[in-house]
């Protein structure tokens, strides 16, 4: 991509910081420089994966610590060396030279400019007072944060050309919590180093590394859960080829609706599991009935009606799927009480089950089935809107409509 070359602006500006601080490097004590560079490198090489595929590192805390202990000049070099070495292992798509140079430049500019501002405000390296320096700390962190967000927006705009406002909002919201959490850690690192020395830092970092390890295990376990569930979901689809990809699509749409309804994260992940597995009970239904190309007889339909309960019973044996099992059990219930298996009415039906119901019906209507052709998105939405308040909760139907509108304008992609 030609536009990628503009990314080089960042390392070019960063080069000025390196040249400007180069002369002071002979004055540095190489010991602390080495320690902070190693710490920063370790932090960058040991990121923690979050469920949404994002990664967090504690690099920011190390750089803040470095600025407070070594001052801005040495920290520019800490940033340069650690970013340079961590980029060697870093995998990037597209042209690696532009992107890697940008990444290295980004670290130098974040550390250099925030450290420079801190110095200009009267901050003295290795001499910090938590009360007197409080204002300087805040300015230091805010400068670092704004340079980070600003340059990320610049890079994303160049690479993907999306609207600056949207990128800014997403980057700002995504990065702010980790800054708030890690800024005190950076200050603490500096205080420990100044008062106890390198050994103090090691003692302090051991529990942090253990915490990271446990968190990673927890995240890996969640990933394994999800993969097991996906494998189970594909087992149903193997029996019923017409529903290929159905569970995945219903799960995506259900999660998008739940996000639109601002449900909390725990509930959304339970809903995700439930939606992936909503038809798992079909494993117990004879194949000739499942794949019958024409209308089912009453007797056959009675057999199909068992699948929500069957599915819920299979799933509830797994501890963490207990809540999901309720959503599965009631995903064919209808607001007016005409659904199955229990004929629940209105508020008796869990919200999660209603969301899956709407996503399920929408996906069924917009896919080819043996007995009819797929409807367009507009036709399917109209059909569901007609059943709003009778079969489906109006708030869920409205959320579906908003999700589809966003999809149309290039946001969420359900299929």
* Interface positions with Fe ion (CB under 5 A): 279
CA end-to-end span of the chain, whole Å?
Answer: 28
Which is closer to Fe ion, CB of 100 or CB of 307? 307
Which is closer to Fe ion, CB of 41 or CB of 233? 233
Report the distance separating Cα 395 and Cα 125, nearest Å.
56
CB of 311 to Fe ion, least distance (A): 8
CB of 328 to Fe ion, least distance (A): 9
Which is closer to Fe ion, CB of 73 or CB of 279? 279
Prior bond of 351 cis (ω within 30°): no
Report the distance separating Cα 78 and Cα 57, nearest Å.
16
CB of 339 to Fe ion, least distance (A): 11
CB of 310 to Fe ion, least distance (A): 10
Which is closer to Fe ion, CB of 147 or CB of 277? 277
CB of 335 to Fe ion, least distance (A): 17
CB of 374 to Fe ion, least distance (A): 18
Residue 105 · residue 10 · CB < 8 Å: yes
User: How far, CA to CA in Å, does 363 sit from each of 186, 238, 359, 387?
Assistant: 49, 18, 6, 15
């004590």: which residue's tokens?
Answer: 29
CB of 332 to Fe ion, least distance (A): 6
Name the residue with the smallest CB distance to Fe ion.
279
Which is closer to Fe ion, CB of 286 or CB of 411? 286
Burial call 277-296: b when 16+ CB within 10 Å, e when fewer: bbbbbbbebeeeebeeeeee
CB of 248 to Fe ion, least distance (A): 15
Which is closer to Fe ion, CB of 279 or CB of 333? 279
Which is closer to Fe ion, CB of 260 or CB of 279? 279
CB of 365 to Fe ion, least distance (A): 14
Which is closer to Fe ion, CB of 106 or CB of 274? 274
Which is closer to Fe ion, CB of 41 or CB of 312? 312
Which is closer to Fe ion, CB of 159 or CB of 304? 304
Both tokens of 39, joined, read: 């710490």
CB of 376 to Fe ion, least distance (A): 23
Tell me 2's DSSP state: G
CB of 250 to Fe ion, least distance (A): 9
Residue 25 · residue 64 · CB < 8 Å: no
Which is closer to Fe ion, CB of 133 or CB of 333? 333
Report the distance separating Cα 330 and Cα 358, nearest Å.
12
């Amino acid at each position: 991509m030609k536009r990628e070359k503009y990314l080089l602006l960042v390392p070019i500006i960063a080069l000025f910081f390196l040249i400007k601080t180069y002369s002071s490097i002979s004055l540095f004590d190489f010991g602390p420089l080495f320690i902070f560079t190693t710490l920063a490198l370790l932090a960058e090489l040991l990121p923690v994966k979050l469920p949404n595929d994002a990664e967090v590192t504690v690099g920011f805390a190390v750089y803040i610590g470095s600025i407070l202990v070594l001052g801005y000049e040495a920290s520019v070099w800490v940033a340069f060396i650690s970013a340079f070495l961590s980029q060697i292992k870093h995998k990037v798509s597209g042209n690696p030279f532009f992107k890697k140079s940008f990444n290295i430049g980004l670290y130098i500019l974040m550390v250099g400019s925030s450290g420079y501002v801190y110095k200009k405000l009267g901050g003295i390296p290795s001499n910090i007072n938590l009360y007197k320096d409080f204002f300087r700390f805040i300015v230091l962190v805010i400068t670092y944060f704004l340079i980070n967000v600003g340059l990320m927006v610049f890079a994303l705009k160049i690479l993907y050309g999306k609207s600056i406002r949207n990128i800014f909002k997403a980057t700002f919201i995504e990065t702010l919590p980790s800054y708030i959490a890690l800024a005190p850690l950076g200050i603490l690192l500096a205080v420990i180093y100044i008062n106890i020395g390198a050994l103090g830092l090691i003692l302090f970092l051991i529990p942090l590394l253990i915490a990271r390890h446990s968190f990673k295990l927890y995240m890996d376990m969640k990933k394994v859960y999800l993969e097991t569930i996906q494998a189970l979901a594909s087992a149903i689809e193997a029996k019923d080829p017409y529903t290929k990809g159905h569970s995945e699509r219903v799960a995506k749409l259900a999660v998008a609706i739940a996000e639109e309804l601002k449900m909390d994260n725990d509930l959304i992940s339970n809903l995700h599991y439930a939606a992936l597995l909503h038809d798992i009970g079909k494993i117990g239904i004879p194949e000739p009935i499942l794949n019958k190309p024409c209308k089912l007889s009453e007797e056959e339909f009675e057999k199909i009606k068992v699948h929500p309960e069957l599915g819920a019973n299979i799933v509830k044996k797994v501890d963490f799927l207990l809540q999901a099992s309720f959503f599965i059990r009631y995903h064919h219930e209808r607001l007016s009480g005409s659904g199955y298996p229990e004929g629940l009415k209105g508020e008796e039906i869990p919200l999660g089950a209603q969301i899956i119901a709407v996503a399920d019906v929408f996906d069924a209507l917009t896919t080819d089935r043996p007995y009819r052709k797929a409807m367009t998105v507009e036709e399917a939405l109209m059909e569901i809107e007609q059943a709003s308040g009778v079969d489906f909760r109006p708030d869920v139907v409205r959320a579906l409509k908003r999700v589809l509108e966003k999809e149309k304008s290039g946001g969420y992609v359900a299929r």
